[in-house]
Structure 1
Amino acid sequence: MPHLVLLYTPDVERDVDIGGLCRALADCMLEQRDEAGKAVFPTGGTRVLAYPAAHAAVADGQGDYGFLYASLRMGTGRSQVVHKQVGDNLMQVLRARLDGLLALRPVGVTLQIDESPGQVYDGKHSSLHPLFNKSL
């Protein structure tokens, strides 16, 4: 973890490089530092996944409407300052990549960040983390 999942109307792909957006968001996540200067997210656990909606109904259906919903799920233990900083910085990336589309037609963009308190199970098995933890 963290996982940032993007759900969007398929028509967004006409005007937005979704792969480039995913990379920009992941890079933004990896740049985040807490109040002590420590990385907020582990490199090997940072994931951005994007899915076009197979079916969608947006607003009243009378226009060329679209949406992109971004949901970041992270483990507990980060401060409210870090939550806001991460959200503001991710929103800045979304705006930089999507404002051109919003200027063309009505599109809704939402970013939500959730923590996973009260986890009852958090199983992990990865060959990614060792690649980035060698220097520890």
Structure 2
Amino acid sequence: MPHLTILYTPNLDRPASEGGSDMSALCQALAETMVAQRDEAGQPVFPVGGVRVLAFPAAHFAVADGGAAGRAAGGTGDYAFVYLNLRMGRGRNAAVHEAVGKALDERVKVHFKPLLATRHVGITLQIDEGSEVFNARNSSLHPLFNKG
């Protein structure tokens, strides 16, 4: 862990010229942002081998009023929505949570800035810290990054 899951309206899969977004580029940028995070002692906040960013378009969706207010305001009424949820294991302090959240939020704002200027988009970023009741991990990724 950490795992960042992105759910989004599939109308964002269009080309940028048609009001869409490069979600693969967003995933890569957010993974790089997560890997770059350091705590107060300068240590990595997240193990590189544990960073996961996954994006899924919603098969079915409804956003707000279905576009009525957007059309009334002179737009297309073609709303979009992005929900980002970072889930991390327990043990990091509030300052780290805040720093990680701000870094991810800034990266999301940079990515979506052109889109927010041209269409109606809602974006939510949340961070949850786990209190697992069961946690099994099987990975050949961690050893790749833990060579000492």
Q: TM-score, normalised by structure 1?
A: 0.96
Task: Report the Cα distance in structure 1 between the residues aligned to 2:13 and 2:41, rounded to whole angstroms.
Answer: 38
Once the 2 structures are TM-superposed, how far is the Cα of residue 54 of structure 1 from its aligned partner? 0.2
**Equivalent residue of 1:70, what SS?**
strand
**Are 2:32 and 1:18 aligned?**
no
Identity rate of aligned residues, in percent?
Answer: 58
Q: Which residue of 1 aligns with 2:146?
A: 133
Structure 1's consecutive aligned runs of 4 or more residues displaced over 4 angstroms after TM superposition are none
Q: Which residue of 1 aligns with 2:110?
A: 96
Counterpart of 2:83 (choices 69, 78, 94) is: 69
| Equivalent AA in structure 1 for residue 98 of structure 2 | K
**Are 2:43 and 1:38 aligned?**
yes
Q: Which residue of 1 aligns with 2:134?
A: 121
5+ residue gaps, structure 2, are 15-19, 68-76
Task: Report the Cα distance in structure 2 between the residues aligned to 1:95 and 1:20, rounded to whole angstroms.
Answer: 14
**Equivalent residue of 1:90, what SS?**
helix
Task: Report the Cα distance in structure 1 between the residues aligned to 2:42 and 2:110, rounded to whole angstroms.
Answer: 25
Q: Which residue of 1 aligns with 2:72?
A: none
Once the 2 structures are TM-superposed, how far is the Cα of residue 13 of structure 1 from its aligned partner? 1.9
**Equivalent residue of 2:26, what SS?**
helix
Task: Report the Cα distance in structure 1 between the residues aligned to 2:46 and 2:78, rounded to whole angstroms.
Answer: 37
**Equivalent residue of 1:81, what SS?**
helix
5+ residue gaps, structure 1, are none
What is the alpha-carbon root mean square deviation over aligned residues?
Answer: 0.7
Number of equivalenced pairs: 134
